[in-house]
Amino acid sequence: MTINPSADRWVGRSVPRVEDAALLTGRARFIDDLPTATNTLDAAIVRSPHAHAEIRRVDVDAALASEGVVAVVTGDDVKRLTRSMTVGVKANVECWPIATDRVRYVGEPVAIVLATDRYLAEDAAERVGVDYDILPAVVDPVAALGDEAPVLHPSLGSNLINERRFSYGDPDNAFAAAPHRIGVDIAYPRNSCTPIETYGVVAHYDPGEDAYEILANFQGPFSIHAVVARALKVPGNRMRLKTPPSSGGSYGIKQGVFPYMILMGVAARIAGRPVKWIEDRIEHLAASVSATNRATKLEAAVEADGRITALAWDQIEDCGAHLRAPEPATLYRMHGNMTGAYAIANVSIRNRIVLTNKTPTGLNRGFGGPQVYYPLERLMQTIARTLKLDPIEVIRRNLVPSDAFPYRTATGALLDSGDYGTALGRAIAEGGYAALVERRKTARAEGRVYGIGLAAAVEPSVSNMGYITTVLTPEEREKAGPKNGAQATATVAVDPLGSVSVKVASVPQGQGHRTVLAQVVADALGLDPGSVSVIADVDTGRDAWSIASGNYSSRFAPAVAGAAKLAADRLREKLKHVAAGQLNTVPDDIAFEGGRIASRANPDNSVSFSRVAAAAHWAPGTLPEVVDQTIRETVFWTPDELAAPNADDEINSSLCHGFIFDFCGVEIDASTGETRIDRYVTMHDCGTILHPAMVEGQVRGGFAHAVGAALLEEYAYGADGSFQSGTLADYLIPTVMEVPEPVILHHETPSPFTPLGAKGVGEGNCMSTPVCIANAIADAIDAESVTLPLTPSKILGLIAGEEPQAKNPPRKIEPAGPSGQRKLTGEGAAEVAATREEVWKMLLDPQTLDAIIPGSHGVRRISDTHFAADVTLGVGPVKGRYKADIELFDLDEPNAVTLRGKTVGALGFGEGEGRITLTDIGSGRTRIAYTYEAGVGGKVASVGGRLLDGAARVVIGQFFKALANHAGGGASGAGFLARLKALVGGGS
C-alpha cells in the first residue's frame, strides 16, 4: 500500500468494519433469517426442462389436490393480473416473468406452487403436468441471426431485437490512410459471479389498498422499482420495496431478482396470504441472470509504430431469451469508453442485440467491461505480435496523454482524471516487469512453457442513468424525453440525545458501506466513527431514494459516500452557528474535534457535540435566525457532467474513470494443459482511497472472479439449448487453491467530479484480468487466437496444434461413453426369505413392483412382460420425476431374467439392462444376484460420475432390500448392504 493516512482524519484508515461482529457470530440478518407472518406460504417454481417449446397444457389439478397446497399460479394468472415488463428498446415484443404460451430457455418459470411449507410445495410442484411441443432451439448469437434460425418471438420476425450504427470522427478515412489494418475475432463466453446467497422474496398484497409490499434481496438500480410497479399495474407508492439488513454477495446478480418480485406479488394476491420464496442453487445457476456472451469483430487502423488512428467495432450481444431491464445496458455501459485507456479519435461501432434460447442476462461484476476489454487488449497484443513491437510500447504510445485530463473521448466520455503514463511506468518498475521478462527467458531456456500478458483498462464508475438511451436513435430519444444523471442520496440525522445516524440507499452486499460512511461523517463532525450509526438497507416507503439508488456501477465511494459527506457538511455548517451562539464566538471560529465543539482561538471554550446537536430538539427557540433545524439533513447529489446522449450519440456514460494496468506471468504444464499464475501485478488509480483494506478487498475479490472467468467458468449450453453447468460441481468456481495473491499497487489521482475525490474500484479486475491472463497464455503457447475459459483441455488442444478453432465454435458435448451417454455398471446380490418361484412372481407383478421400486408413483402392466412406471429419482442434487418403460427378456423361469428399461424425464434420460439370477440356497431362501449396465444422458449425466455410480447402487440396492422385505424380511445383503451403509454413512 502506498497510502499515508492523515493522522487527523478517519477517512483513509483501515478501521475495523462495524459489519463484522454480527456476521462473525451468526447474528446478521439475511433475508431467509427474518421472521415472516405466521400465515406465510412457501413457493416452489415449476420450470421448463426445454430450451424452446410451445406449452400445450398446464395441468395443476393433481398439485392443487396435494397436501398443504393453497394455490398454483400459472402464466395465464400472471398475464391476467400484470402487464408485460418494460423493454429498453422499441420492439414489438412482450416480456413476462413467467412463460405464457411458450418457453424459451431451460429453467423458465411455468407455474408456482404455494403451500404451507417448502417441502410440500416442492412435492406438489412435481405433480404439475406440463405438455410441451418441442421447437428447435438456437444458442449461438451469430447463428441466431441466420435465415434458418428458429425465431424466439414470432412478433419480432427475427431474433435481432435492435441494431444501431455509430460513427465518431472519420474512421473510413483513417482506415484508408493507415498502413496496417489489424483485427481480432472474439467469442466472449457467458459466466456469472454466483453469490453464495441465492435470491429471496417475501411478498404481501393488500387488496383494500391495492398495494404490494415486497421484501427482496434486491441490489438496485431502483429504476427497476418503476418496472415492477408498472408490471403490477399499481402506482409507485403502492409498491413498497424493502431490502434485508444483510445480503450475501451480489456482484450485480441480485438486480435480476426483480421478475420474482412480480411473480411473488401476484402469488400473494392470488393466495390471499403472504408468500415467501428462496431460490435454490440449481434454480440460481439455470435461471437467475448471467453476464452476456458476445461475438465481436474489432479492427484497428494502425501506424507503423503501433499507434492506432481508428477502431471499428462490430458487436453481437446475446441477451438470452428476453431483453429484460436494464438490458441492453451491458452493451451500452461502456459506450463512452470504447477506446479504453487510449486516445483514438476515430471510431465506428455496429451494435446488434440478439435473442437466443438461453437465460436472460443482467448485471454482473464488470458489466460490459470484460466483453469490451477482451477484444481491445487482445487487439493490442495482436498489433505488437503482427508488427513485431514490444507490447508495452504499443500500449504506452496509445495512452491518453497525462496533460489531457479531463479528456473527452471520441464516443463522448469525459475521463475525469488520470496520469496513465506515470501509473504504467510505476507498475513496470515497482511490479518487477524486467525480472519477469528474465524469468520467462530462463523458463523458456529450460524448455518450460511460460508467457507474459498485459492489459490496460479504464474502469468506469457511477453510471449515467441516461447511457442506456444511446440504444435509441436521436429521434426516438427526442420523443421519449431526456434521461441523465445519477441521483445519490444520504441523510444525516441527530436524535434527542445528540447522537448521529446516517441513512443511505446504497444497499450493500458485503462491501462495508456502513463502516466507510461512519468514517466520512465522523470526519465532518469531529466524532469517533464508533459513535455514528449507519443504516444502508432501503424501504422505498420511508427512505430518500431515486432511480439511481442501489449498489452497482461501483458508485458507493464516489457517489454515496460523497453525498453523505455533503449532508454532514451541511449539518456542520448549521451547528457552527448554533455553537457560536453557545460559546459566544463567531461561526468561523468553530472547530469540531473529539466529540466536542470548540473555539479555535480558545480551545478551552468548548461544549460537547451532543449538547449543541440536540438543541434543535429540546430548545428550538434558542436556534439562531439563520438555522432552521439541525435534526436531519438529506442531500440529493447528481453530477452535472452526466448529461443525456447528444444528437451525435456522444455519451458520457460514467462519471468516473479509474485506470488499471496489469501484467502477469503464467506457466503452462505442457502435459496437463494446466495454467499456473506465477505472478500477477495490478496497478490501480481509483482516485482518493477512503479505506485501504476495503479497496484491497475489492481488488482481490474482483481478481478472484476474473481468475474464474479466465480459466474455469462458463455457462455451457448444448446445441439443443440444454443447460450443462447446472450445479457447482459443473460450474467450477475458483477455490483457495486456484487464486494466487496479486501484487496490488496504487497511483492516486483524485477525481475532480466527486465530493471525496474517490472513484469506483470494485469491478476493474473483472475487466482487465481475464484478458491479461489470456494474453499471457497466448504468449506462452504462441497462439494467435484464444477463447475463454482457458481450461486445461482447451490449452492442450492449442498446444497440440489441432486445427484452429472456428470463429464461433459450437460447443461440443464431451461424450462420456461410446453412445454419448455416461455409462454405469455394477453388480450385487441379496438373499431373501422366499422361494425362487415366489420371487419370480413378485418380479412380474405390477403391484409388487409398485411397492418395491424406489420412488414409484404407480406401475402399469402393458403386457405380461412389459411395464410402465412413474418414478421419482434423485441423483445428488438433481432430483426429478421420470417415466420408465421396462421389458423382460430371456425369461428362464424361475432361474433368470433380463430386464431392459428406458426412462425419460425433465432432467434427462437413461436406458439400461440387467440380468437377475435366482439361486435356491435352501430353507426356502433365495439368493438374488444381479448385474447391470446402464447409460444416462441429459442434465442428470452432467452430475459427477462418482455421484451417479453411488446413486445407482443405492437405488438398485433399495429395490432389492424392498423386495426382500416384501418377501418377508430376512434379507442379508452380503457385501452390498455394507457398501450401502458406507455410502449413506460416509456421505460427506
- Contact residues toward another protein (CB under 8 A) are 14, 16-17, 19-30, 32-33, 119, 193-198, 246-249, 251, 280-282, 509-512, 693-694, 696-697, 700-701, 703-705, 727-729, 733, 735-737, 739, 741, 876-877, 987-988
For residue 329, what are the contacts with CB-CB under 8 A and spacing of at least 6? 88, 363, 367, 368, 467, 468
Cell of residue 473, nine digits: 436513435
Separation CA 254–CA 264 (nearest Å): 16
* Residue 699 CB, nearest approach to another protein (Å): 8
Closest distance of CB 959 from another protein, Å = 21
Choice between 249 and 421, CB closer to another protein: 249
What's the number of CA atoms in the CB half-sphere (13 Å) around residue 250?
Answer: 32
3-state SS record for 843-878: HCCHHHHHHHCCCEEEEEEEECCEEEEEEEEEECCE
8 A C-beta contact, residue 331 and residue 163: no
Give the containing element (helix H, strand E) for 124.
Answer: helix 118-125
Residue with Cβ nearer another protein (194 or 309): 194
> At its nearest, how many Å lie between another protein and the CB of residue 985?
9
Measured from the CB atom, is 129 or 249 closer to another protein? 249
> Beta strands 275-278 and 211-216: pairing type?
unpaired
DSSP string covering 649-708: -----EEEEEEEEEEEEEEE-TTT--EEEEEEEEEEE-BS-S-HHHHHHHHHHHHHHHHH
DSSP code of residue 778: H
CB of 31 to another protein, least distance (A): 11
Shortest Cβ distance from residue 729 to another protein (Å)? 6
Listed in order, strand segments (DSSP E) in 329-473 are 346-354, 407-408, 414-415, 449-463
Tell me, what amino acid is at 659?
Answer: F
Task: Rank residues 29 and 860 by Cβ distance to another protein and give the closer one.
Answer: 29
Q: How far from the centroid of its chain's Cα atoms is residue 66's Cα? A: 35
**How far apart, in whole angstroms, are the C-alpha atoms of residue 291 and residue 729?**
20
- DSSP state string for 955-974: HHHHHHHHHHHHTTS--B-H
Q: In the complex with another protein, which residue's Cβ is closer, 296 or 765? A: 765
Cα-Cα-Cα-Cα dihedral sign, residues 690, 691, 696, 699 = negative
User: Which residue lies nearer to another protein by CB, 365 or 925?
Assistant: 365
CA proximity to 939, closest of 870, 882, 854 = 882
Specify the residue, 169 or 249, whose C-beta has the smaller distance to another protein. 249
Closest distance between another protein and the C-beta of residue 30, in Å? 7
Report the distance separating Cα 517 and Cα 563, nearest Å.
10
Nearer to another protein, 281 or 841 (CB): 281
- Supply the minimum distance, in Å, between the C-beta of residue 244 and another protein: 12
SS3 of 460-529: the string is EEEECCCHHHHHCCHHHHHHHCCCCCCCEEEEEEECCCCCEEEEECCCCCCCCHHHHHHHHHHHHHCCCH
In the chain the first and final C-alpha atoms are separated, in Å, by 41
Which candidate, 654, 657, 704, places its Cα nearest to that of 685? Answer: 657
Nearer to another protein, 68 or 894 (CB): 68
In order, the DSSP letters of 534-580 are: EE---BTTTS---TT-SS-TT-IIIIIHHHHHHHHHHHHHHHHHHHH
Nearer to another protein, 193 or 842 (CB): 193
H or E element at residue 393: helix 391-398
Nearer to another protein, 445 or 736 (CB): 736
**Cβ closer to another protein: 535 or 728?**
728
Closest CB to another protein among 387 and 733?
Answer: 733
- Residue 647: CB atoms within 10 A of its CB come to 9
* Nearest residue to 394 via CA among 404, 385, 386, 384: 384
- Rounded to the nearest whole angstrom, what is the least distance from the CB of residue 290 to another protein in the complex? 14
CB-nearer residue toward another protein: 648 or 741: 741
Least Cβ distance, residue 28 to another protein (angstroms)? 6
- Rounded least distance, CB 16 to another protein, Å: 5
| Residue 445 near residue 622, CB atoms below 8 Å | no
Pairing of strands 346-354, 407-408: unpaired
196, with CB counted inside 10 A (0-12, 13-18, 19+), is: exposed
In the complex, what is the shortest distance from the CB of residue 205 to another protein, in angstroms, rounded to a whole number?
A: 24
Q: How far is the CB of 66 from another protein (least distance, A)?
A: 18
